[in-house]
A and B are shown apart, each in its own frame.
Chain A
Amino acid sequence: MIWLGLDTANAPLSAALVKDGELLVELNSAMGLNHSAGAMPAVEELFKRAGIRPAELDAIAVSEGPGSYTGVRIGVTIAKTLAWTLDKPLTGVSSLRVLASNIFTYGVTICPLIDARRGNVYAGLYRRGEDGKLECLMEDRHMALSDLLMQLKKQRNPVVFVGEGARKHEELLKEMLGELGRRAHFTQDLPRASLLITEAMQAETSAVHSFVPEYRRITEAEANWQKANGKEAE
């Protein structure tokens, strides 16, 4: 069973091929890549290095967001096109869950953070259970970072922050949470497509044609339209 995993949800890129639970090739980059130009060459490189053909794939996993709208769309478009034309199952995994899966400490609250500008973040809360599986404690959402930190402060549990968003707001996390706020190692701030595949193996597959990113935010145009037409924006 050969899996392809792809995460282009934010600036970093990760792509991997995993065969029967063993990593064949993984390409990772933290640089602000142009995914539109760079993602398919990375996928091509994976197959070349592993010496397999696209038709030998068995399943595809993709990071479905939230994150950069454009970045998420590129990964999703590539993944759903491959899945459809190769007739293979497609599984979407939260980009926040992928970041959380970098943390293997049991029982601790894990908070993956993706910066969403203007003091906002995409965040979720996760925990690795006794069985080693990642549980979701709070569904992914778009929110003000200050609100999230207030909420976590009240809970008085230690929290491990992971992801590029955590790095960006490191100062504020320390200031607000002190000893309760811990930081992952910098190598854990990047998504790993091999772990994305691990998560996908435990999740349900998605319908391919109707598969779309989890933006976790409506467009500005839609929000303005709803306001103008007297509907409550979510």
Chain B
Amino acid sequence: MNDIHILGIETSCDETAASVVKNGCEILSNVVASQIDNQKKFGGVVPEVASRLHVEQITLVIEEALEQAGLSPDALDAVAVTEGPGLVGALLIGVNAAKAFAFANGLPIIGVHHIAGHVYANRLDSGMEFPLVALIISGGHTELVYMEQDGSFELIGETRDDAAGEAYDKVARVLGLPYPGGPHIDRLAHESEGAVEFPRARLEEGSFDFSFSGLKSAVINHVHNVRQKGQEIDTASVAAGFQESVIDVVVEKTVRAAKEKGVRQVIAAGGVSANKGLRAALGKAMEREGIRFSVPPLNLCTDNAAMIAAAGTSMFKAGVRSDMALNGRPGMELQSWAKKSI
């Protein structure tokens, strides 16, 4: 069989990214232009600013990805682009650049779900073995997804309020830590000797859903009470206590899902899977259970286009195609592209 070369494009939030991936597993180039320095002064991602910066970067980033891969457009088999979810104004820069590029070069175009991309990032690293359970944990997501086979997704648990990454950012703000807060909490938790005890939201017996708003409120109340007593807040032990609570619940539910479904592999995906504490705890738990655990290296955990090309390759093989009417879909739901296995 011939090699498959897919150009991936990703602009769902504040990274302008393009990549060329060979056969869904080999990265030939992976270019990411981050806007973080530009967004920092606003204390978060401002959608209009993000969209303006994407327009500035988009062709440069695609050109760089092709150059690093050493390929011309006619060596490509398709263009894969993040269709959603994400910021609508940001998504449609990538989508329209991808469509124009595909049209000009006579290539098929494939719209990819951002989270499917995060899961397929594992193809670029240690590979995927089915059936598997994927923990998708980021600023917008906290989900447990069961994959029976390549291209099939079954949502078995999700957050009922905040995403884990959102809770991290809000707690970081309460603690006066700079944006983005996740890495700071992770570092402080690592350094801290003590940890403030916060509640665990396990929800009903057997549920794979998550809830972080109660934990977030508990942290805010704690900080408030300490301040009212005129005492100083031990930022590190609050961070450690918060992180412990998140990790405890996430690990417990992931392990239970993996055992119940009898999977061969557990995958962590999404921005928060870059968290060192979470990686270590999940790794240890899966080792105990004898289940293979994979989490891609940092540069493939955070938003990138190689993961979109990787998922796009699986879709390409399954015959999935979009057309020139492809649009950015901010609230897109994860859907299977595999035919139901009999």
A residues near B, CB below 8 A?
A: 34, 36-41, 43-44, 54-55, 69-70, 73-74, 76-82, 84-86, 208-210, 212-213, 215, 219-222, 225
Contact = CB atoms under 8 A, between A and B. Distances in A.
A77 B55 contact: yes
A144 B325 CA distance: 37
Nearest to B327: A37
Instruction: List 7 tightest A-B contacts by C-beta distance, closest first.
Output: A81-B100, A37-B327, A221-B46, A40-B324, A36-B92, A84-B59, A40-B99
Contacts of A44: 103, 324
Given A38-B325, A85-B104, A209-B60, A73 B97 contact: no
Contacts of A38: 325
A162 B41 CA distance: 40
B326 interface: yes
B56 A77 contact: no
A85 B101 CA distance: 7
Nearest to B95: A36
Given A36-B327, A84-B59, A210-B56, A69 B51 contact: yes
Contacts of A78: 96-97, 99-100
Contacts of B59: 80-81, 84-85, 208-209
A221 B327 CA distance: 26
A208 B56 CA distance: 10
Interface in B102-136: 103-106
Contacts of B89: 69-70, 73
A219 B101 CA distance: 28
Contacts, number: 104
B52 interface: yes
Nearest to A73: B55
Nearest to B53: A212
The bracket for how many chain B residues form the interface is 20 to 34
A45 B100 CA distance: 13
Contact of A73 (B51, B63, B99): B51
A40 B42 contact: no
Given A34-B327, A73-B93, A213 B55 contact: yes
Given A212-B55, A221-B49, A40 B104 contact: no
A77 B104 contact: no
B20 interface: no
Nearest to A8: B96
Nearest to A69: B48
B93 to A, nearest CB: 5
Contacts of B48: 69, 219-221
A54 B326 contact: no
B24 interface: no
A72 to B, nearest CB: 9
A79 B100 CA distance: 8
B101 A81 contact: yes
A139 B111 CA distance: 40
Interface in B55-109: 55-56, 58-60, 62-63, 73, 89, 92-93, 95-97, 99-101, 103-106
> Among the interface residues B48, B103, B104, B324, which one has the most CB atoms of the partner chain A within 10 A?
B104
Contacts of B92: 36, 70, 73-74, 77
A84 B103 contact: no
Contacts of B93: 73, 77
B328 interface: yes
A78 B104 CA distance: 10
Interface string B17-49: 000000000000000000000000110001011
29 contacts: A36-B95, A37-B326, A41-B323, A44-B324, A54-B103, A69-B51, A70-B51, A73-B52, A73-B55, A73-B92, A73-B93, A76-B55, A78-B97, A80-B55, A80-B58, A81-B58, A81-B96, A81-B97, A81-B101, A81-B104, A82-B104, A84-B62, A84-B63, A86-B104, A209-B63, A212-B52, A212-B55, A215-B52, A220-B48
Nearest to A72: B55
A221 B55 CA distance: 18
B49 A219 contact: yes
Nearest to B46: A221
Contacts of B49: 219, 221-222
Contacts of A54: 103-106
A90 to B, nearest CB: 10
Contacts of A40: 96, 99-100, 103, 324-325
B56 A212 contact: yes
Contacts of B326: 37
Given A73-B89, A77-B55, A77-B92, 13 more contacts: A34-B327, A40-B103, A41-B324, A44-B103, A55-B104, A73-B92, A78-B100, A85-B100, A85-B104, A209-B59, A209-B60, A219-B49, A225-B42
